[in-house]
Amino acid sequence: MSQLHRIALSMLRCLSPQNARLLLEELKTPEAVFDPEFLKEIPGLNPRLQEEVSSGAALRQAERELEFMEKSDVCLHWFEDEDYPARLRTCPDAPLLLYSMGEADLNPPKMLSIVGTRKMTAYGRLFCEQFIQDLAGAFPDLTIVSGLAYGVDVCAHRTALNFNLKTLAVLAHGLDRVYPPAHRQTAKKIVQQGALLTEMPSYTQPLGWRFVQRNRIVAGLADACVVVESAEKGGSLITAYMAREYNREVFALPGRIIDPYSRGCNKLIKNQVAALLEKAGDLIREMNWDQNIRQQSRQQTLFPLLEAGLQEVFDLFGEGRDYDTSELYELLRQRRDCDMGYLLSVLLQLELYCLIRILPGNKYRLY
């Protein structure tokens, strides 16, 4: 199947992705769309489509795009191909194709979108960094998706890079540029440890409406969407509602009612669009990602990534028993010299990994 005709089909302005698929069901191949004889056989076809195809403009633009792809090492992902994101393919308005620059797998075991305001506060930054760090410790195969914008987006990308996670930046323009330009160095790192992704051909300008269009890809790529901070209106809320329409789980970080960049998150939680998110363990439990962790936790050696201190405290627990902190402290003191503050910090880490759970009365039990 011709790459040229695939690209040209995606460039027909009067044809939405949904209608393009319907046309392909009728004509079978993209090449047939550009054959006037085949088009004549379809009753009730939009005359504008016939005119646009006859002009040859889409094919000429597609030729230029192929030249750019070859020069810039850009890959093409067609919606029927195996390397197209399988999660995104289930969305009714998924793009016909995606362009990517980088080496990332678009179908990793776990994928999480993290979005939010461009005017990120210290509260949001602290949460975002700790949240991704905790997830990276438990799931090194996790891929973080965002939009490379100021604030929450770039914080999510940079934190993922810092903790050796793959990350995808979904752009609202072509791969000939980086917007905003201030994030060019981050984009270069993403190409090495993930990918830049867009449905837009090269030399497409980053206009406002294209960011809204881009948001559906951010929502559709992932298993779940996390909103870190948002005003009462904004693009991240649009992404959250799109994610719900795609049957994705949505999570939001709550904040004070007087904080303008928590109002959007509080609204999502209040309207039951998003689940309240306080720590990584909340998402892990809601997504049932803890099943793998619990299975591995029964092995003699827990996680190679866990420090020896975490393993040591975990080994204190027996199946089906509840332990209060004083009992655990005495057991631990028999093995090493430590204070209660050390024990409490380790218990918190084990809870984040969903290995133990806290019970009423300040008691702990294995999951």
Q: Are residues 294 and 281 in the same domain?
A: no
- Give the domain range for residue 38: 1-70
Q: Which of 286, 310, 328 is the last residue of a domain?
A: 286
Domain presence at residue 123? yes
Rg (CA), the chain: 24
Count: domains in the chain: 3
The label of the residue with tokens 């399988």 reads 86
Residue 352's domain is classified under what CATH number? 1.10.10.10
- Asked whether residue 95 is assigned to any structural domain, the reply reads no
Instruction: Determine the distance from the C-alpha atom of residue 319 to the mean position of all C-alpha atoms in its chain, rounded to a whole number.
Output: 36
pLDDT for 334 equals 85
User: CA nearest 194: which of 171, 177, 220?
Assistant: 171
Same domain, 234 and 317: no
Write out the chain's pLDDT in tens, 367 residues.
689 999 999 988 888 888 888 888 888 889 888 887 777 667 767 778 777 887 888 999 999 999 999 999 999 999 999 999 999 999 999 999 999 999 889 999 999 999 999 999 999 999 999 999 999 988 999 999 999 999 999 999 999 999 999 999 999 999 999 999 999 999 999 999 999 999 999 999 999 999 999 999 999 999 999 999 999 998 999 999 999 999 999 999 999 999 999 999 999 999 999 999 999 999 999 999 876 555 554 444 444 445 667 788 888 887 678 888 888 888 888 888 888 888 888 888 888 777 888 888 778 888 7
Residue 67: per-residue pLDDT: 96
- Looking at the fold, whether 193 and 332 belong to one and the same domain comes out as no
235-245 vs 263-270: helix crossing angle, rounded to 10: 20
| Rounded CA separation 293/309 (Å) | 18
Decide which of 70, 96, 119 is a domain's last residue. Answer: 70
Q: What pLDDT does residue 305 have?
A: 44
238 and 334 part of one domain: no
- The domain that holds 167 is classified in CATH as 3.40.50.450
Say whether both 258 and 313 belong to one domain: no
Show Cβ contacts of residue 18 under 8 Å, excluding neighbours closer than 6 positions. 92, 93
pLDDT at 296: 52
Q: What is the pTM of this model?
A: 0.79
Q: Pairing relation of β-strands 142-146 and 110-115? A: parallel
Q: Are residues 269 and 301 in the same domain?
A: no
Residues 231 and 296 in one domain: no
